[in-house]
Structure 1
Amino acid sequence: MTSPFSYTFPAIRGVQAGREYYVSMCPLRLLAKLFVFDNEELMPELRAQRSINRSRIPEIARYIVSNSGSYTFSAITASIDGKVSFDAVGEDDTNHYRMGTLQVDMDAKFIVNDGQHRRAAIQMAIEERPELGDETIAVVFFHDRGLERCQQMFADLNRHAIKPSPSLNILYNHRNAAASLTKHLGLTSPVFRNLIESERSSLSKRSRKLFTLSALHFAILEMLNEEELEDFSAAAKKCSEFWEAVGDQIPEWIYVREGRMTAGEVRQDFIHSHAIVLQALGRVGKSLYQTSSGSLDLRLALKKIRDIDWSRANAATWEGRAMIGGRMAKNSQNITLTCNEIKRSIGLALTPEEQAIESAFTAARQ
């Protein structure tokens, strides 16, 4: 038995792996009504895909609402469990029966194979901004061939999905104030100019770059709060002054700029160009500005950084702080412990939280 009623979608028909599929446009307000998520109460073996991570949905919804004039979404992929038919428009050689209308039995079930978080976030965004409901999103329809095929579709759709590197995300992000400031420093600061890797978040031994864009970005986030980032000119001036003062106290950074050492040699033998140290230095900068009264002589305050032994061979200092088992580490505790060592070297007091972590670290070493 089929329903005498049907959904009608204007669509383009295509062929993949010898079977038809259809591309159409769907108003956002209809997504929640048409497309359901596979029952999360079922065992994973009986579902067509993974469970929804509900913590992701509000973030995506905020992205839509905050950027209602410029948000971008890729197509949703769905399977149709029910009767379908395609009525082509015309029979000439230009469209080859590819354009027409897709008729879907109203008793059919639509299952989202890819895009379930987008669907849920769009529904949440429309509750706040109902006018978004008239906008559209592309939908790719496949005719359902059972649970096994749906599960295989999910695996295939995600098999070659590669998340862009953090550095590339920062490079292409024009909405975020910290990202804009990071790119500005990378282009204008004599400390970082021509030494920033903008696409990758890790550096090969032969790379001529000394820092990654993502490492500098996280260092800036450690140094400046959201209110400071809103004033781009003041934030840029503050960051430029601080990092130039830091750069003056680290000879190896200067040697790389002058061609007296290669970036690879510095990264191999020293820890000060790695992300954890940049973040720790950013946190030190924040502390310096917060604790200074009146004008701050950065070069005088940071002068003792030159006396720090940044060598990887200095395991007595850095093992357990910036390194674990001789390899660079980067969790929040390691950042704090590295920051603590820099603060101690230049005579800055630790906060109560930093002191608690330092005391636990010292006790564990004994």
Structure 2
Amino acid sequence: MENFYSFTALRGIQGRKMSYIIQIPLNMVGTLFEQEDFSLPVIERKQRMLNKARVNQIAKYLVDNPDSYVLPPLVAQIIGEVEQTPDQLQRDIVTLKIKMGSKLQILDGQHRCAGIQLALQQRKYLGDEVIQVKLLICGNLSDSQQVFADININAVKPPQSIKMLYNHRDYLTSFSKVLIEQIPVFKNNTDYERTNLPPQSDNIFTFSAIYQANKELLKTSSDETMFDQKTLIQFWNTVASVMTDWDGQKNAGELREQSISVHAVTLSALAEVGRTLIEKFPSEWPEILNGLVGIDWNRSNPDWKDRAVVTGKITKSRKNIELTANKILQYLGVALNKAQKNRETEFLKNI
């Protein structure tokens, strides 16, 4: 007597081929699907190498959000014999019987599978919950590789700004939205959807840039988070009042082209400056920030070379943020701390 996997499936035709949608418990993910052999050359595989960081990210997402997570369906292929028995009333619903000796191989979703298995080590009860799987009948390796290519070629990641904007689990997202509404220059000039603004845009800031700057400002030297809404709003209002570039006198496109003042690297650098001032001068920091009014933010200013502007392009990396913050602190007459001095010394050696 042969053994079968038996699933209730919804069947349909896509690309002139039959496909099936089933649901499986999460605790079957590790046993139902055949593992990819990564010792094979890439040309002989159906999948890319696993990215462990991505696996850990998915596992953490499941562990942190057991009551509200959402996982997209997996896509897998069946290699072997399949029997289907249509429901008497709904012909598109079938009982799908797959021989135990058949192979089920993941074509899309290997990181989800690995992340699920890792998460179940910490949240075993999630094993009774389900994930949808789209099953295809692929004829050969080239068919399988084509499915992988088609899915990934047509996939487009949404901009970082809109991903942050829609993340209601993140306190900083909610606060950044409130902050923008209370700072007039942010409220009237922020693009919530795009991360990179086109030349014709009337906006000068992006939501992601403001979010990242707030994240920078809220870090403390003890790596804890200081959620003081009043201080944050006061800080950005003070900055906005002395940033002459932000007064609306220049065309938005020209301002972004000519000045570094509205770019993400500078917003994050200003946030690092703000964090330094608030920690060192808890009462005097607003007055010290008035010194920003005398800074030349033009991208052609040699002070920004290899700090915010690298080979003629405005660049945002951790190093760029720190070096730009150092120069702003020097403009304000504030002594650098040990870490800032070390970064500055390293930078000056390479000029």
What TM-score comes out, normalization by structure 1 length? 0.91
Secondary structure of the residue aligned to 2:316 is: coil
The one-letter code of the counterpart of 1:131 is: Y
Question: Which residue, out of 35, 38, 46, partners 2:36?
Answer: 38
Task: Tell whether the 8 Å contact from 1:250 to 1:305 is kept in structure 2 after alignment.
Answer: yes
> Is 2:45 the counterpart of 1:59?
no
> Is 2:256 the counterpart of 1:267?
yes
Question: Which residue, out of 229, 235, 253, partners 1:236?
Answer: 229
Q: Which residue of 2 aligns with 1:151?
A: 145
Alignment coverage as a number of residue pairs = 348
Q: Which residue of 1 aligns with 2:311?
A: 325
CA distance in structure 2 between the aligned counterparts of 1:289 and 1:297, rounded to whole angstroms: 8
Task: Tell whether the 8 Å contact from 2:278 to 2:285 is kept in structure 1 after alignment.
Answer: no
1:109-135 Cα distance to aligned partner (Å, 9 max, x none): 111111111111111212211111111
> Is 2:237 the counterpart of 1:250?
no
1:123-178 Cα distance to aligned partner (Å, 9 max, x none): 12122111111111110000131211111111111011111111011100111122
Q: Which residue of 2 aligns with 1:89?
A: 87
Q: Which residue of 1 aligns with 2:293?
A: 306
Q: Which residue of 1 aligns with 2:335?
A: 349
Secondary structure of the residue aligned to 2:107 is: strand
Shift of 1:37: 2.8
Shift of 1:227: 4.2
Q: Percent identity?
A: 35
Q: Which residue of 2 aligns with 1:340?
A: 326
Task: Tell whether the 8 Å contact from 1:272 to 1:310 is kept in structure 2 after alignment.
Answer: yes
Q: Which residue of 2 aligns with 1:191?
A: 185
Question: Which residue, out of 163, 166, 172, partners 1:178?
Answer: 172
> Is 2:45 the counterpart of 1:47?
yes
The one-letter code of the counterpart of 2:298 is: S
The one-letter code of the counterpart of 1:228 is: T
CA distance in structure 1 between the aligned counterparts of 2:315 and 2:110, rounded to whole angstroms: 35
Q: Which residue of 2 aligns with 1:278?
A: 267
1:233-290 Cα distance to aligned partner (Å, 9 max, x none): xx22111100111111111212x2xxx3322222122110000000100000110111
With over 3 angstroms needed to count, the CA separation of the structure-2 counterparts of 1:129 and 1:360, relative to structure 1, is: closer
Question: Which residue, out of 263, 274, 278, partners 1:289?
Answer: 278
CA distance in structure 2 between the aligned counterparts of 1:250 and 1:102, rounded to whole angstroms: 66
CA distance in structure 1 between the aligned counterparts of 2:251 and 2:285, rounded to whole angstroms: 28
CA distance in structure 2 between the aligned counterparts of 1:37 and 1:289, rounded to whole angstroms: 53
Deviates more, 1:350-359 or 1:267-276: 350-359
Task: Tell whether the 8 Å contact from 2:245 to 2:255 is kept in structure 1 after alignment.
Answer: yes
The one-letter code of the counterpart of 1:161 is: A
CA distance in structure 1 between the aligned counterparts of 2:254 and 2:237, rounded to whole angstroms: 22
Task: Tell whether the 8 Å contact from 2:24 to 2:132 is kept in structure 1 after alignment.
Answer: yes
CA distance in structure 1 between the aligned counterparts of 2:314 and 2:34, rounded to whole angstroms: 45
Task: Tell whether the 8 Å contact from 1:82 to 1:144 is kept in structure 2 after alignment.
Answer: no
CA distance in structure 1 between the aligned counterparts of 2:56 and 2:322, rounded to whole angstroms: 30
Secondary structure of the residue aligned to 1:20 is: strand
The one-letter code of the counterpart of 1:165 is: P
Task: Tell whether the 8 Å contact from 2:176 to 2:214 is kept in structure 1 after alignment.
Answer: yes
Secondary structure of the residue aligned to 2:260 is: coil
Task: Tell whether the 8 Å contact from 2:74 to 2:133 is kept in structure 1 after alignment.
Answer: yes
Q: Which residue of 1 aligns with 2:131?
A: 137
1:218-241 Cα distance to aligned partner (Å, 9 max, x none): 111111137435x4xxx2211110
The one-letter code of the counterpart of 2:225 is: E
> Is 2:112 the counterpart of 1:112?
no
Q: Which runs of 5+ in 1 are unaligned?
A: none
Secondary structure of the residue aligned to 1:174 is: coil
Task: Tell whether the 8 Å contact from 1:37 to 1:116 is kept in structure 2 after alignment.
Answer: no
Shift of 1:351: 2.2
Query: How does 1:4-15 map onto structure 2 within 5 Å?
Result: 4-15=2-13
The one-letter code of the counterpart of 2:27 is: R
CA distance in structure 2 between the aligned counterparts of 1:195 and 1:125, rounded to whole angstroms: 41
